[in-house]
Structure 1
């Protein structure tokens, strides 16, 4: 019976060696998986940080867009108001030019009347006419 026991021992020893090798391979695989798990966790933390930073930047940009839209709206209002003021001032300028022109015509008429009353004046000399009529664009 010794040979059977001896064969069994040999088989058991070979099987044990195979199992030891398998155990070493599995331990190595487990180490690799643990390393990969650590890398995954590290990358996950980095991605979460990146996403938070990106989210913060998106929020800042959104706030800036809202601010600039508001600023643009306010500027458009200011420009419209300025254009209205410019139009009013141009109308006032034209009105004043018309008044000045009318006053000039009245002065020339009075000067003509005065010159016609003076005895020794030369009535052939005509006074200079100042015309400052402004063509309005309608």
Structure 2
């Protein structure tokens, strides 16, 4: 049959098996058309066959484009699969590291508990010692206060300007009687010496008699 174009596929990006399959489908279609038209070919028949052949060529181009798109998608999926596989491997490594860390922490927990218990015992001992020291300091403070009171009392009664409760001699007693008597009219003596109340009362009694 003259004038009939037989399409063939030459897309280098298409898999050879797919290309052969498409060529076979198109060839079978053309042969079927030829068997159906055993009568002499007229110009109208030739034109019709030519149009059908052109339509098949267009269909072939459409199929080639679709196949190329599918191949591109396949490559994208492969790239994503590789990336996901790598990510899973990295995640697996991180999980392994995390598991190792957890195991390490679990292994040191008993030692940590023992150290905490020992520290708590040490703290209790130190607190007891601190309490004992506080008790000792408190007792010493009381002794110091009592000693200070005794010293103050001794100093107060040993002051030569204060009349003692007990005279060391008769001479001292007469001296304080004279001072007390003098203080009745001498303001400076009153300021300088401190007399016991009993001495003042006794002095007044003697003056009345």
TM class, shorter-length: 0.5 to 0.7
Q: Unpaired runs of 5+ in structure 2?
A: 1-38, 144-209
Which of 85, 102, 107 is residue 84 of structure 1 equivalent to?
Answer: 107
Secondary structure of 2:74's aligned partner: helix
Aligned twin of 1:101: 124
Q: Give the aligned CA root-mean-square deviation in angstroms.
A: 2.9
Equivalent residue, structure 2, for 1:50: 73
Provide the rounded CA distance (Å) in 1 between the counterparts of 2:130 and 2:57. 107
Deviations 1:45-75 (A, max 9, x none): 1111110111111111011011101111111
Determine which structure has the larger helix proportion and give its number.
1
Structure 1 Cα separation of the partners of residues 134 and 59 of structure 2:
108
Question: How far apart, CA to CA, are the structure 1 residues paired with 2:95 and 2:134?
Answer: 57
**TM-score if structure 1 supplies the norm length?**
0.59
Larger radius of gyration: 2
Normalization by structure 2: what TM-score? 0.41
Match of 1:25 in 2: 48
Mapped partners of 1:37, 1:30: distance in 2: 10
Offset of 1:99 from its aligned partner? 2.2
Deviation at 1:100, TM superposition (A): 2.5
1:41 and 2:27 correspond = no
Task: After superposing the two structures, state which structure 1 stretch, 72-81 or 51-60, moved more.
Answer: 72-81
Aligned residues: 103
How far apart are the structure 2 equivalents of 1:111 and 1:44?
A: 94
Structure number with higher relative contact order (C-alpha < 8 Å, ≥ 6 residues apart): 1
Shift of residue 90, structure 1, vs aligned partner:
3.0
Q: Does 1:63 align with 2:90?
A: no
Deviation at 1:106, TM superposition (A): 5.5
